[in-house]
Structures are given as structure tokens and as C-alpha cells.
Structure 1
């Protein structure tokens, strides 16, 4: 028997982690202001989508320096994907529109990761809360090259958010249809960073630049099928052995054609054409002769 005593499983929590793109590229004097803005932006986003109470429900939460980490009820996972990611995109775009000075040329852009699993949580936001494998996973994902490169390949004044979901989040909340976003809008990517390895799913609520042209992972953009070659319309079907019209076609007609004075044409093979025999023959593949019949005279009484 094992000497290890079983432990109670911590409660399941959804983990939302955000990082500011190129945080280290800002001057040191700006770091405090940027860090303080992040929770304000998140709170404003929940208000923007009409769900401010979700931000108030957060359990553990703390700054990561260049970002923020939040623990939430896992039932909120679908909402954290949609409409939260779109709301965050809109909130950052709105702030960029209002920016002045150097900030107008250097918009705040974010990477977002979502994970879910058992994490310590006393409900009092203590130092030991929010600890566990899936918290580590969320931080590894937000730093993954795949999501960094994705945001880099977008237009900096159009796309402000790039998201990456753990496989568990994707399977539980997206593939099952609980979100308002179709599973086909996500692109799988293999992630290997430090000791972490797994499949994650990339998402943009507003695609632009090379990511729009070539896919969230280069080479994954849908390719339009080649245009079908034009097809000649089929020849009109014959109406029995009788065709009408001065420009009708005669195909593979051989023998003698007898053209009546009334415009009828009697072919050697029994077909009859009503119309101008000259035009009919002109449009046919015909070999043989044409005889025009003389008009019949009406018989009269002798005096």
C-alpha cells in the first residue's frame, strides 16, 4: 500500500491571463501606468459586454507585471471566449482612438490565454491561491511563439487582441457549441515552451494583415477551389422526326431531300422539316441532292 495520503481535489477554475505586447519596449517610466491600466481595461470590457458582475465574481487575481491573471467560475468559460474577446478588442480599439501624443503611435495590444482545471482557491485571494498545473499552462500559452507571431502578423491599428485556448477549454466550451463562435474559426497549433507541450487553439476576433491573407498559422488560409471549365450547352433534342424553324439543324442526313412548295422538306430517311429548305440545308451536315417539287395545278371543268 502506498504511504502517500490522498488529497482533496481543489475547485475547478477558469484562468484568464493577459499580457501586454512588447511591454519591455516601453520606457521604464511607463511601466507602472501600463500595469495599473490592465485591470481597469478588463473591468471596462466586462461592462462593455453588459456583464460587469462577472468581474466582481473573480476569486484569485494578481498582476504579472506585464499583464494580469484572473480566476473565475468555470461556468463562465463560454462568455470568456465570446463575447469577452470581441469586447476586449473593441475596448482597446476605443482607447487607441482617444490616445494622443506618443500613445497614439504605440497602441496597447494584448495576448490572451484561457485554461481550466483544479486550482487552489480559498476565495480570499491569498498568496497561495490560484496555484496548480493549469495556472502554469495559462502562463505558458500566453507566452507561446504561436500566439506572439500571430499578433505580430496583424495590422497594429486594426487588431488589438490575439487569443490562445488550451485544448481542454476548446473541447469543453467551443467544440460542444456553448460559445457563439464556430469551432472552424479556431486554428490548432502545437505549443512547446519550457517543460510544457500540447495542442492549443488560436483565435482572432478581428483578423487583419498577413493573418487575414494567409491564415492564423501561415499556410492555413482556406484556398478557393479552381473555377470550373466552361461547358458547351447540349444540342437541342429532336422533337420526334419532325423539326420546325427556318434555321433548324439537320445532322447526318444522306440521300435525296424533296423540298415542297409550301416550305416543307422531306428527307430520304423519312424526316420532315417545315421551313425554308435552303436555310435548313445551309445549317446541316448533308450529302445528296435536293429536288424542288412543282406546284400542283388545280383541276377545272372543261367548257
Structure 2
């Protein structure tokens, strides 16, 4: 799981450091409320985001509910009191697979490549623009992660809270699943370019079964984002 702050560039060093602290604090608070011990995760700072590697024994559903709604709630609360230059919109991507953990604590493996592509995808970038002023957190799940968590009776993980999207970034092409406040509405299809905090998002298009988009592939960042609600139909913000 990874997190990235959308539109972080151009804010200046002091504001960048502030929003980085806000994201990390919100994430660790959300882990605590979700009854997850941050010490069990391998944490990496990615500059304007972060990455969490969960222990293999952790059930996959634990990385979705209530963690992501709790994270979104904290970001939303920060934004209520923050100026435009320190508000956050966060992208999140979640994937699972076998990785290598070296003795020095570093991790590597092909799942990180897929995670990076999901994070950089146009569907996720456009999902952060949903609603008035954008959404605090938008998340994308790989199809593998979706199949093993959603629709199996886990609380907050009803299938109708997710929107299918086809991700194509560089050599990566796969089905993925979006969740964000205001779902189910599919994101606008566009260039995948990030907007700054002051830009007005385009209104979302009606939900579709399939959306084919092409991302620019600029940058490789791990990110995670989630909405501030319980992932359930008719109960979203």
C-alpha cells in the first residue's frame, strides 16, 4: 500500500514538509484506530508520499476497511482548517504479491512495479477530482486484491461501492477497481495530469462498466488514498 499527495509540486519547501507531516500523522492515526500496529509494517518515505509493506499474516481486507475510511476522515478534517496551499488530496494504490525482504530492511519485487503503475494511472488521478474541490482520498485496487477482498462478506467491502477501470500505463495494462467519496461515479477520462489545489475539477461522468484510459506514465510513485466513509452503498459521503 502506498500514498502520494496530488499536486504537491510548486508549494515551496516549508509547505511541502508540512503536508508530508500531515499525511504521515493521519496514516499512523488511522492504523491505530484500525487496530493495526505500525511497527509491523515496513515504512518508506517516497518524498511526497509513503509506502507500507504489510506482514504476510495480515488479512488483505485489513488494508481497506476501516483503514482507508479512517485515513480519509483525518485528511478531510485537516482540510477543513487548512489554507489552500496546505490542503491535501491523496492518491492510494493497493496491491499484493510475493516480495523480497533483505536483511537491511529493504524490499523489492515485481508487485511494486504494478503498484507504481496503478498509482500513476489516469483513472486514479481523475478520481481525486471527484466532488466539489476534489476528494481527500481516492484509492485504486489491483484486480487480484479486489477479488480476494471485495464481495466476500467483509464489513464495508460491498462490490457496488467500487468502479471498474482499465489501467494502461507504459507496458502495464490491467483491470483495476476505484473507490472514493461519492462513488459510484466513474472518473472523467483525460490526460491523467494532476491539478493544483485551487483548480476546479470537472464533473464526473456516469458510472460505466468499463473505462479505457491512457496515462502519461510520467514518474513512478507509490501511493495510497482512500475515502472518508464506510465503503458501503447508500452510506457514502
**What TM-score do the two structures reach when normalised by structure 1?**
0.58
Shift of 1:30: 2.3
Question: Residue 35 of structure 2 aligns with which residue?
Answer: 51
Match of 2:114 in 1: 137
Deviation at 1:45, TM superposition (A): 1.3
State the match for 2:207 in structure 1: 220
| Cα drift, residue 219 of structure 1 | 2.8
CA distance in 1, matches of 2:10, 2:208: 31
> Residues 196 and 221 of structure 1: is their aligned pair in 2 closer, same or farther, counting only changes over 3 Å?
closer
- 1:89-142 Cα deviation digits (max 9, x unpaired): 11111212333xxx25652110111000001114x663xx32111111111111
Is the Cα contact below 8 Å between 2:34 and 2:67 reproduced in 1?
Answer: no
Unpaired segments ≥5 residues, structure 1 = 1-15, 223-303
- For residues 239-294 of structure 1, give each alpha carbon's deviation from its aligned partner in whole angstroms, at most 9, with x where no partner exists: xxxxxxxxxxxxxxxxxxxxxxxxxxxxxxxxxxxxxxxxxxxxxxxxxxxxxxxx
Q: Which residue of 2 aligns with 1:41?
A: 26
Contact 1:20/1:109 (<8 A) preserved: yes
Q: Give the alignment of 1:238-249 within 5 angstroms.
A: none
Corresponding pairs, count: 192
Residue matched to 1:26? 11
How has the CA–CA distance of structure 1 residues 201 and 72 changed in structure 2, closer, same or farther, with 3 Å as cutoff?
Answer: same
1:31 and 1:125 map into 2 onto residues whose CA distance is 29
Alpha carbons of 1:36 and 1:203: their partners in 2 closer, same or farther (altered >3 Å)?
same
Displacement of 1:65:
1.0
In structure 1, C-alpha distance between the alignment counterparts of 2:167 and 2:89, rounded to whole Å: 21
How far 1:176 moved relative to its partner? 2.8
Task: Give the whole-Å Cα distance in 1 for the aligned partners of 2:21 and 2:69.
Answer: 22
- Contact persistence 1:79–1:179 (CA under 8 A): no
**Contact 1:191/1:198 (<8 A) preserved:** yes
8 Å CA contact retained: 1:174, 1:183: yes
Q: 1:114 aligns with which of 87, 94, 99?
A: 94
Structure with higher RCO (Cα < 8 A, 6+ apart): 2
Runs of 4+ in structure 1 over 3 Å off: 214-217
CA–CA separation in structure 1 for the residues paired with 2:127 and 2:150:
20
User: Which residues of 2 match residues 260-271 of structure 1 at below 5 A?
Assistant: none
Matching residue within 135, 139, 162 for 1:163: 139
Work out whether residues 203 and 216 of structure 1, in 8 Å CA contact, stay in contact via their aligned partners in 2: no
Structure 2 unaligned blocks of 5 or more: 189-204, 210-237
What do you get for the CA RMSD once the two structures are aligned?
2.3
2:130 counterpart (153, 157, 162):
153
Q: Within 1, Cα distance between the matches of 2:171 and 2:34?
A: 39
